[in-house]
Amino acid sequence: MKLNSEMEQMLTRAGRASLDRELADIARSGFVERDGCVFLASLESFQKHVSLKNFLDRTGYECFVNSIHADDFVNADFLACACSYLSLVFEAWNKSGLPGVLQGVISGDEFDATVKFHLLRPGETWLSDDLEGYEDAMLTVESSDKGFLEAYGV
């Protein structure tokens, strides 16, 4: 797991949150593959108007489709909700048997937290290596990170 100092501060203040039922259902909806990309089935079904040709690479396409805002589902504890949601997505991924490692990205501030994820691919990145360069709190974590799964598992 990598995080910037802003995220480190936010995590020390974040508690635990029970995951909204709708978010849990989204995380457990399964995965679909299209154009060499992996999407959560429930999120992909809403994105029929975009395709790989609209993006520079597969990572950008996946991050666009595989994106949720915690404030669309809860009124408080945005970061805790985002972490629990991503943990559940990773749990579903790890049980799926699909190849590859997902990288999750959580960004946020006091008013919201956004979760995106994509497959790790050589030569493609979503974020700069320097997370301190971002104004928002930023965290990246991989689906194989057992510590994250244990800390935020629902």
Q: Is the pTM of this model over 0.85?
A: yes
Q: How many whole angstroms separate alpha carbon 96 and alpha carbon 145?
A: 16
Domain count, the chain: 1
User: Helix, strand, coil proportions of the chain in percent (round to 5)?
Assistant: 40, 25, 35
Q: What is the pLDDT of residues 5-42, one digit of tens each?
A: 999 999 988 877 778 899 999 999 999 999 999 999 99
Beta-carbon-side half-sphere exposure of residue 150 (alpha carbons within 13 Å): 3
Q: What is the pLDDT of residue 154?
A: 53
Q: How many whole angstroms separate alpha carbon 145 and alpha carbon 151?
A: 10
At residue 129, does pLDDT exceed 80?
yes
Q: What is the pLDDT of residues 50-60, one digit of tens each?
A: 999 999 999 99
Q: Which domain holds residue 16?
A: 2-152
Q: What is the pLDDT of residue 19?
A: 84
